Structure 1
Amino acid sequence: MKKGPVKNKKQVLVYLGAFIGLVATLLYPAQKEAPVYAASILSFNFDKKVALGDFPIAVPTYRYGFVMEEYQSKEGKVEANQTLGKLLSDAGVGYPAIQKLVDNCKGVFNVNSGFRVGKSYLILSDLKTDEPEYFIFRPNVYEYIQFDLRGENEVKKIEKPIETKEKTIEGVINSTLWQTLVDQGISFEVAAKMEDALQWSVDFSHTQKGDRFRMIYDQNYIDGEEVGAGQVYTAYYDREGRESYAIWFDNGEYKGFYDLEGRAIKSNFLKSPVKFSRISSHFNRHRFHPILKRVRPHLGTDYAAPYGTPIYAVGSGVVIGKAYTKGNGRYIKIKHDDVYQTQYLHMSKFAKGIKVGMQVAQGEVIGYVGSSGLATGPHVCFRFWKNGRQVNHLKENLPAPKPLPESVLKEFFVVRDEMVAKLKVLDNKQLQNTEGATSAP
């Protein structure tokens, strides 16, 4: 039988199933009514009990599409100063073949930047001759590079199949949303997905102990391991009885998150310029300045976050200011329209490519948290301007988002009711009120 990657696993399973069926048939003792000629033809003693061990079944082991029992295998991880050429040479591949493999990598795999220390590889060799036949390199969890060491030395990039399962999480805040999820082993990516879904309606810098949350989303798996979160279908947050919903709706024409009434969640401005932060100082016209030691108006909101945390534009607009001053440190100022402007102070550095006059999108990284200028620690002082005056953005009644048209609402309500029903199932399953987060497939 010709070796190589198995292209039709169904065919293998059919043969294996037929063999198991034959064994199962032989395990039954002979019936008295069975024709005499059957035993004579088969030369088989049907009165003898047959044990399954008389028919050993070797279930093949598949990896990267290969039947591992057909090869000698050696696996390892790329070490420091180890190149693809050296690794293949040590495995017994000749220089002409190595050069051809490197040439065939063009357009498939960047050998210089992609062959990194710590990444896994597998060498498959002939059982009899020990000649290397395939080299498998896995640059990430999503794909692998297959080097055919025979003949034409073909190089292929093969994506691993991703399995998607709907998953739910729920919990009660005991510190911050991020910390509550991380404490329960839920990834940072999932926490970010929840904040992204609710970022226009919930200010996550104001999380309070006892706040409740739930989310239904797709979890991606490769080889049974979680590899990333997919689409969020619904997110829910309850702060002292004030409920916020984000229902995902996509009918081809309208796509996005909506509240229970079909109003778009996305608004012109995000609630905060920094994710997973906390407010360290509020807008206050009579604040005692911690450095100057005197009362001085604080016409912004300070969001404390670790040094280097990304700062996002809360709305789309044009950069009208990028400078450094003794008090403000490095700052960016954005004009959103004829009414609103925003300013971001004390940055450690500006985002690459940010220039005065350029257009930025809502949620685009414009800089990074620091403590430049007059600052006691890493934070961003966020200032919100309305008609030329600095105002407290947390108390502003900003324009409400537009709802779905009447012709689409009926379709949306079907999706909404399904998602809300799933959330209620979660509520019914939670028989005891415990702090922390839980997850379920």
Structure 2
Amino acid sequence: MILGTLYYFSSGLKQQLQASLVASERPAELGAFPITVPTIKYGFAIDTFQVFEKTIQSGQFLGDILIQQNMDYPSIEQLVRNASDVFDVRQFRVGNPFTILTKDSTQTADYLIYEPNVYEYIVFHLKGDLKAERIKREVTSEVKSAAGALETSLWNAIVGQGLSYDLADKMEDALQWSIDFHHLQKGDEFKLVYDQNFIEGEPVGIGSVHAAYYKTGENEYHAIYFDNGKESGYYDLEGRPMKRGFLKAPVKFSRISSYYNLNRFHPILKRVRPHFGTDYAAPYGTPIYAVGDGVIEKASYTNGNGNFVKIRHDGTYQTQYLHMQKFGPGIRTGVHVKQGQVIGYVGSSGLATGPHVCFRFWKDGKQVNHLNLKFPPAKPLPEADMPQFKMLRDQYLELLSQAKEVKVEEDGATTAKKGNP
């Protein structure tokens, strides 16, 4: 009996000791010792640095910033030279953010990170190899749709839903050959299928517009983006290119302040004088675009026209753009230009009462009202591309049919209203 009892206790003690040894060999539970995860930003564990986040101020240059970070002039000059192939430091813009990373604020800082836009940043190495790196942020995208109806303007119809104003600009790019965006009407309807871009889960801008729909009065227009590997662009539902020989207007989102009129009373000369152009009013500095491919016949100045550009497009058509504030980059007589290229900026040079561009159009050497011209349709896609195009078209039409208008309430809440099919 005594021996049995001793065996029981010794056996139990042995088991307890073995269990204790096993437990001591186990790794500690994860929660027992907290693990510190470093904060990674711009590719650095910024917890190990002193971090100073600032924005570029008016009149501030890279040299001004680096001198404050204890960097000497020869080093600054060397950095600027080494960085020139990556980033032109003269492109620093007021209001853009930059960050200083330093281990010791009494010594030269380690890094300066400048953000020219949301999609990338520039890392300037301020010690060792003085250099710069351009880093692209990882961008993800999600296909979204939008719909709306005009009450006052296209811009308000889009921005009023909390959507990016870039959508209005990109929708005009898709439909600019078919719709006169200077004559939009209350009640006009639109729908879009587009990419919403994200960086680290935050929306940062609009990517491509895949499909667009616009209805004005009884007229409906569709634009489907298609890329066959050789060429790409917007096409109508039958596979015909939306792109035509000429844009509807030389300025985006402006208004027509004066039409082609052979009996117009001139506001400065105070007498009846034929007006052979169409005036598009817009703020000073608004870009003016070439409405078609061609060669600049003249880029000059006269007292009446102010700064002007005249383009020959072919043996039949010419266009002219008057009262510019200044010419676009590289614009001069004899230069070839492409449709949509910036050739100048809206101004009021010459005989002008305010900022606008007087747009003139010649056909066979005679000035005509371009708003009344009809141009032949472009050739459709090759038959070999049509099956793929139709499949893509039908997918986008289905997404367009599901597009909903979002109503933003005063309290910030949103409700969805489905657009017409």
Question: Per the shorter chain, which TM-score range?
Answer: 0.7 to 0.9
2:281 equivalent to 1:304: yes
Does the aligned pair in 1 maintain the 2:406–2:416 contact within 8 Å?
no
The counterpart of 2:21, out of the listed 18, 29, 41, is 41
The secondary structure found in structure 2 opposite 1:190 is helix
The secondary structure found in structure 1 opposite 2:396 is helix
| Distance in 1 (alpha carbons) for counterparts of 2:402 and 2:240 | 25
Which residue is equivalent to 2:4?
A: none
Which residue is equivalent to 2:101?
A: 123
Show the 5 A alignment for 1:167-178: 167-178=144-155
Letter aligned with residue 342 of structure 1: T
Does the aligned pair in 2 maintain the 1:304–1:378 contact within 8 Å?
yes
Bigger drift between 295-304 and 103-112 goes to 103-112
Q: Deviations over 1:292-326 (max 9, x none)?
A: 44444333222111122222111111222344444
| Distance in 1 (alpha carbons) for counterparts of 2:390 and 2:350 | 51
Does the aligned pair in 2 maintain the 1:182–1:188 contact within 8 Å?
yes
Show the 5 A alignment for 1:354-373: 354-373=331-350
Letter aligned with residue 120 of structure 1: F
| Distance in 2 (alpha carbons) for counterparts of 1:239 and 1:324 | 40
| Distance in 1 (alpha carbons) for counterparts of 2:248 and 2:115 | 38
2:42 equivalent to 1:60: no
The counterpart of 2:113, out of the listed 137, 153, 169, is 137
Question: Where does the alignment leave 5 or more consecutive residues of structure 2 unmatched?
Answer: 1-14
Q: Deviations over 1:188-229 (max 9, x none)?
A: 433221111111111111111111112222233334444443
Question: Where does the alignment leave 5 or more consecutive residues of structure 1 unmatched?
Answer: 1-34, 45-49
Bigger drift between 94-103 and 187-196 goes to 94-103
Letter aligned with residue 329 of structure 1: G
Show the 5 A alignment for 1:163-312: 163-312=140-289
Which residue is equivalent to 2:376?
A: 399
Q: Deviations over 1:123-182 (max 9, x none)?
A: 1428xx998784141232333344556665665332222222223332222233234434
Change (3 A) 1:261 1:73: same
The secondary structure found in structure 1 opposite 2:103 is strand
Change (3 A) 1:247 1:164: same
Letter aligned with residue 41 of structure 1: L
Change (3 A) 1:84 1:329: closer
| Distance in 1 (alpha carbons) for counterparts of 2:287 and 2:59 | 33
The secondary structure found in structure 1 opposite 2:182 is helix
Change (3 A) 1:79 1:373: closer
Q: Deviations over 1:68-113 (max 9, x none)?
A: 4444544444567777677567657789977875665453444565
Change (3 A) 1:300 1:38: farther
The secondary structure found in structure 2 opposite 1:204 is coil
| Distance in 1 (alpha carbons) for counterparts of 2:84 and 2:283 | 40
Does the aligned pair in 1 maintain the 2:309–2:320 contact within 8 Å?
yes
| Distance in 2 (alpha carbons) for counterparts of 1:142 and 1:376 | 41
The secondary structure found in structure 1 opposite 2:252 is coil
Bigger drift between 193-202 and 376-385 goes to 376-385
Change (3 A) 1:65 1:353: closer
Does the aligned pair in 2 maintain the 1:181–1:437 contact within 8 Å?
no
Question: TM-score normalised to the size of structure 1?
Answer: 0.76
The secondary structure found in structure 2 opposite 1:298 is coil
Letter aligned with residue 393 of structure 1: H
| Distance in 2 (alpha carbons) for counterparts of 1:94 and 1:322 | 47
Q: Deviations over 1:327-364 (max 9, x none)?
A: 43333222211211222223233334332333222112
Which residue is equivalent to 1:331?
A: 308
Q: Deviations over 1:362-389 (max 9, x none)?
A: 1122222223333332222222221222
Bigger drift between 417-426 and 92-101 goes to 92-101
Does the aligned pair in 1 maintain the 2:46–2:101 contact within 8 Å?
no
Which residue is equivalent to 2:354?
A: 377
Change (3 A) 1:303 1:95: closer
Does the aligned pair in 1 maintain the 2:408–2:415 contact within 8 Å?
no
Change (3 A) 1:181 1:94: same
Change (3 A) 1:418 1:63: same
The secondary structure found in structure 2 opposite 1:206 is coil
Question: TM-score normalised to the size of structure 2?
Answer: 0.79
| Distance in 1 (alpha carbons) for counterparts of 2:415 and 2:339 | 30
Bigger drift between 180-189 and 190-199 goes to 180-189
Q: CA deviation at 1:187?
A: 3.8
Letter aligned with residue 65 of structure 1: G
| Distance in 2 (alpha carbons) for counterparts of 1:310 and 1:235 | 24
